Amino acid sequence: MRHFALFIDNEVRGPLSEYEIQDLINAGTVHADTQCAPSGSTEWEPLGNHFTFGSSIKLTKKVEKSEAEAEIDASRLDVDVRRKLLMYGLADSATVDQISQAQAEIVLGGHEADLRTKISTHRTVGLSAFFVALALAAYVGSFTEIGGSLLGKGAAKFAKDDPKATDNLKRFDSDVKRFEEIQAQAQLATFQRPTGGQLLRPTLLNRLRIPENQGFKVSGAVDTSPLGNLLTKWNIKLDDGLKVYVLSAPIPADVQQKVTEQATVLDTVLSPMLDDAAFDQLRTEVVATFPVDAAPESARLKGEMEQMKLAELKPAIDRVEFRAREAEKVGNSKWAGELRTFTGKLRDLQNRIRINVDPNARKKVWSEFNSGLGAELGAWVLASNAKEVPVDQNGNFLIAETGKLETDIAPTRILVTAQINGDTVYLAWGSKFLACRDLRSEEIPKDTFLTREQYKVLDKPVTGNRRHYVRYRVGDKEISANRFSPKWHFFVVARDKDTDPLIVMVDAETHGKFPVGGVVPTEILEKCESFPRLTESPAPAPLLAAE
């Protein structure tokens, strides 16, 4: 195989093999008029004398190399390394292609180290001779002009042979050492974790939404001993089967009124016998509670109530109920509600008179209520999906998840039921017929609800693995060393209906464990870091990130 030296960009390159020159021709680096010198010749001539340019054959696609050609390309020496082997005489054109790249670098490294040692020795000897000659010339010159002149001229000639060689070599050695220092710093540089992240747990807790009727667990105790004691006086036994119901929302005002009326009726049928003076006192107390309003009808109706006799309770109740309906029609719902409450007191007074004169009236009053308002109350409780809470034999109960129930709110959210001869009694928390105690609301830890959150993987991006480099000029060449940044794995997660997904950094094992669409447990997410955007390690000095 022939070899040629090429003159390219005012620089002699080679010797290069025919294959290498053909690659340069294909790449457009050399042309037919590029000067070349065949191996063993000192004459320069156009490259077109030995190679064909401008072939009419055009390839429409890249010709795939065979395995043998690919193996040859892989073992081919670097151009500069090949040139140095030939230049130093470490190989000839017949044997140079048999040397591997690694072998060539080892041989060149040892040879160039020897050259540096020899150059350093020669420089030391030359400089020593120069200074000795100068000293001798100065000494001899003091005795004879001829000796000083001759020695001075000789020393001057020696010094003028290559005045920049020493400086250039020093500069070269300095550049090499500096690059080695920079390269060592680059290898020792540490890639830090991406910055700007924060622990995800506070974010998950801030995004957590706990329904108002689920954030607390409520405990307490209740029994019907006050009611049982009253029933015992009338030889009535309270049935077994105490139940506690908790409502997800406060009891509506109209239903609350029915609960109150049932308690009033129960109080009436269990009340003792009264004389006429006691009834007059009750009438006076009831009339005193009449709700006064700015409406003209208020004063007139109040006067009628003050003149009312006990025998006139039925028409009085009808007039008050009529006025309540009329007030509601004109938008005065507040007064209408107060009038209905007043009506209940009148009806209670009426029932007390009935049971006082008729021994069988007690049972009748109770039955009438249960067949009317009592039945409506029972139907509403069934339709409200009230949650029954288990009660132990001591009356203790625990509501696992509900809203906060303080003593003032509990009467509108908790109903206790008991049975009297098969009839259900609905009693609000705090009723005088109940012994209510130890009501306590305790907030449920947020972690209980956090574990129920379902964050799905929307994407699994990976950042990093970017090339970083250091570059330094040594002599007439720019040399670089490369490093690659570490990979960082991320999840983009969100719950159903979330419009602001979270970007979370995870380890490689977790990244491979959950596919897109999978749910990542919050026990894993809360230990991770979230980032406002995908990021990677900053470039540590002296490395620079490649584009």
Say how far apart CA 216 and CA 175 lie, in whole Å.
73
Residues 132 and 26 in one domain: no
Confidence band of 29 (pLDDT split at 50, 70, 90): confident
Residues 496 and 395 in one domain: no
Q: Is residue 341 part of a domain?
A: yes
End residue of a domain, out of 63, 83, 115: 63
Residues 248 and 294 in one domain: yes
Residues 138 and 283 in one domain: no
Say how far apart CA 267 and CA 255 lie, in whole Å.
19
Residues 276 and 414 in one domain: yes
Residues 311 and 273 in one domain: yes
Confidence band of 56 (pLDDT split at 50, 70, 90): very low
State the alpha helices, DSSP H only, in 88-100.
none
Q: Is residue 77 part of a domain?
A: no
Cα 466 from chain centre: 24
| Residue pLDDT, tens place only, 95-108 | 767 777 777 777 77
Share of the chain above pLDDT 70, in %: 86
Token readout for 543 is: 């490395």
| Residue pLDDT, tens place only, 227-239 | 999 888 878 888 8
Query: Nearest to residue 456, comparing CAs of 508, 511, 489, 495?
Result: 495
Say how far apart CA 137 and CA 430 lie, in whole Å.
126
At 521, give phi and psi (nearest 5°): -60, 145
The predicted model gives 415-431 an average pLDDT of: 91
Residues 30 and 139 in one domain: no
Q: Is residue 78 part of a domain?
A: no
Q: Is residue 96 part of a domain?
A: no
Query: Nearest to residue 414, comparing CAs of 287, 259, 530, 546?
Result: 259
Say how far apart CA 100 and CA 84 lie, in whole Å.
14
Cis peptide bond prior to 542, omega within 30° of 0: yes
261, pLDDT greater than 60 = yes
CA 13 vs CA 5, 10, 102, 253: distances in Å: 6, 10, 22, 102
Alpha-carbon torsion (454, 455, 458, 463), positive or negative: negative
Residues 358 and 247 in one domain: yes
Residues 356 and 497 in one domain: no
CA 4 vs CA 29, 87, 370, 403, 408: distances in Å: 15, 14, 119, 93, 105
Pairing verdict, β 238-246 and 467-474: unpaired
Token readout for 364 is: 């009748």
Residues 373 and 507 in one domain: no
By residue range, what is the domain housing residue 158? Answer: 107-188
91 CB neighbour count, 10 Å cutoff: 18
Residues 307 and 397 in one domain: yes
pLDDT of residue 151: 45
Confidence band of 94 (pLDDT split at 50, 70, 90): low
Q: Which of 144-153, 472-481, 537-546 has the lowest mean pLDDT?
A: 144-153
CA 454 vs CA 449, 457, 497: distances in Å: 11, 10, 11
Query: Nearest to residue 252, comparing CAs of 329, 337, 321?
Result: 337
Token readout for 213 is: 């009727």
Token readout for 196 is: 């700007």
Say how far apart CA 318 and CA 314 lie, in whole Å.
6
pLDDT of residue 146: 46
Residues 400 and 360 in one domain: yes
Query: Nearest to residue 350, comparing CAs of 365, 370, 367?
Result: 365
Q: What single-letter DSSP state applies at residue 330?
A: T
Give the list of residues 6+ apart from residue 365 with CB closer than 8 angstroms, or none: 265, 268, 269, 351, 354, 355
State the SS3 of 227-273: HHHHHHHCCCCEEEEEEEEECCCCCCHHHHHHHHHHHHHHHHHCCCC
End residue of a domain, out of 383, 416, 446: 446
Confidence band of 135 (pLDDT split at 50, 70, 90): low
| Residue pLDDT, tens place only, 530-545 | 999 999 999 998 888 8
Q: Is residue 93 part of a domain?
A: no
The predicted model gives 519-534 an average pLDDT of: 95
Q: Is residue 87 part of a domain?
A: no
Token readout for 239 is: 């049935």
- Count of the separate structural domains present in the chain: 4
End residue of a domain, out of 410, 425, 446: 446
pLDDT of residue 535: 94
CATH code of the domain containing 38: 3.30.1490.40
| Residue pLDDT, tens place only, 328-350 | 898 888 999 889 889 888 888 88
Q: Is residue 75 part of a domain?
A: no
282, pLDDT greater than 80 = yes
* DSSP code per residue over 154-188: HHHHHHTS-TTHHHHHHHHHHHHHHHHHHHHHHHH
Token readout for 531 is: 């980032």
140, pLDDT greater than 60 = no
Q: Is residue 132 part of a domain?
A: yes
